[in-house]
Amino acid sequence: MSETLRPARATAPGRIILRELETRGWTQQDLAAVMGRPEQVISEIIRAKKQITAETARQLAKAFGTSPDFWLNLEMQYQLHQAGSAGVESQIERRSRLFALAPINEMIKRGWIRASDTVDELEREFCRFFQLASVEQSPRVAVKFRLSGERGPEDRAILAWVKRVEQLAAEQEIDAFIEGTVPELVERLLGLAENQAELVKIPQLLLEYGIHFVFVPHLPKTYLDGAALKVEEHPVVAITLRYDRIDAFWFTLFHELAHIHLKHELVHVDQLFGGESPIPGSEEIEASRLASQWLLPEDLMTEFIELNAPRYSRQNIERFASEQHLHPGIVIGQLMHRKEMKYSHLREYLVKVSPMLEMWKDGNRSGMNFIH
């Protein structure tokens, strides 16, 4: 048999073996005797019940004057063809597309979509979550943040996170939002800023002012702290508590409210803390300045620093915080942000916020009982 002979399409090796036996006038018993193998093994190879191994390929090559590669390649092409015929390749391609569009495993883990053994059901779950007519459409949300031309893992995760925020906000019953009432809301919120236990009142207070409050922890590799967006003409403040500290929570909350008050085009998805944050645009700078001014006016903070730098005693911080009706952790967070204090100093004041907001966390449906 010529070494250059190749089947035009994937062919069972057994058919080529039968052709060679016919050419030589051999029987299967003859080939078994030539190769020194049981006749049953030869029969199973011809009927595609047994695959050609490296050892068998070498024996066939010697028997028919070819190379072992010919038989191994023939077997490989046949097996690939069989797998494709069974639809395995198609299912892998369809799953690959879904995983390229969204963090599927993390969404299943969080209960956003149901796990499924079939790709058809997984596609239906994907379309349901993103409100798509078909998987040929790409997930979209009206979000204002940098998206690369080809969405990377972070961008895809952010899209899924924003969609989840939209879903939870849409479930909430809420009062009408009245333009210009955010400063009044801020004043009432500041009345809760001194005592950690008062944090439980914040979500309901936002709802009373017509602003949704949503707590969805960030997805891996997204580095999100919060967002401001709209759902059916109602503003939404969303938080992740990526930095579960009282100072980070209050600044994030006021930053998102500043976006709403300043009538910035919503949606803003914010990365406010840590070295991962991109250089903010003008609207981000404006929102951060207003948030800082609401939380702790610049002149008061500067005066405190001038009187106490470079040593900030526990007693002086507590006194100043009490005068401003703020939790000491908020003052310490401001000092750390200005690099006036090391991050290792007095960290016991940077208390966790999540226990106070647990009922509002995504996945805890008991929070819905508190919706106005």
* Single-letter amino acid code for the residue at 197: A
User: In this predicted structure, what is the pLDDT of residue 369?
Assistant: 41
User: How would you classify residue 237: left for phi > 0, otherwise alpha for psi between -120 and 50, otherwise beta?
Assistant: beta
The residue with greater pLDDT, 335 or 90, is 335
> Position of tokens 């940098």?
146
Give 9's pLDDT tier (boundaries 50, 70, 90): low
Q: In the structure encoding, which two tokens stand for residue 259, read together?
A: 């976006």
Q: Give the span between the Cα atoms of 100 and 273, in whole angstroms.
A: 28
Give, in degrees to the nearest 5, the angle at Cα 203 between 197 and 207.
Answer: 145
Any alpha helices (H) in the chain, and if so which ranges?
Answer: 13-24, 28-35, 39-46, 54-64, 68-85, 88-101, 104-109, 119-130, 153-170, 182-190, 202-208, 246-261, 282-295, 298-308, 314-323, 328-337, 354-357
Mean of per-residue pLDDT scores for the chain: 87
Residue 230 has φ and ψ, to the nearest 5°, of -130, 145
Tell whether the model's pLDDT for residue 234 goes beyond 50.
yes
Rounded Cα distance between 342 and 345, Å, is 6
Q: What is the mean pLDDT of residues 114-135?
A: 93
CA-CA-CA-CA torsion sign (53, 55, 58, 59): negative
DSSP class per residue in 228-287: EEEETTEEEEEE--SS-SHHHHHHHHHHHHHHHHTTPPS-EEE--SSTTPPPP-HHHHHH
Write down the domain spans for the chain.
13-85, 94-140, 156-289+357-370, 298-349
pLDDT band at 200 (very low <50, low <70, confident <90, very high): very high
pLDDT of 82 reads 74
267-290 confidence digits (pLDDT tens): 888 888 875 544 457 888 999 999
Q: At what angle do helices 282-295 and 328-337 cross, to 10 degrees?
A: 140
Q: What backbone torsions phi and psi does residue 24 show, to the nearest 5 degrees?
A: -90, -10
Per-residue pLDDT band at 214 (split at 50, 70, 90) = very high
Residue 149: the pLDDT is 41
Cα(171)–Cα(173) distance, integer angstroms: 7
- Written as six digits, the tokens of 288 are 């951060």
In CATH, which superfamily holds the domain spanning 13-85? Answer: lambda repressor-like DNA-binding domains (1.10.260.40)
pLDDT value at residue 148:
39
The mean pLDDT value for 196-224 works out to 94
Q: Rounded distance, CA 54 to CA 74, Å?
A: 12
Residues 6+ apart with CB under 8 A from 129: 107, 112, 113, 160, 163
Mean per-residue pLDDT, 92-104: 91
Mean pLDDT of 11-15: 89
Find the range with the poorest average confidence among 110-119, 137-146, 168-177, 315-324. 137-146
CA distance 268 to 333: 23
Alpha-carbon distance values, 55 to 4, 17, 58, 62 (Å): 22, 16, 5, 11
Tell me the pairing of strands 226-231 and 268-270: antiparallel
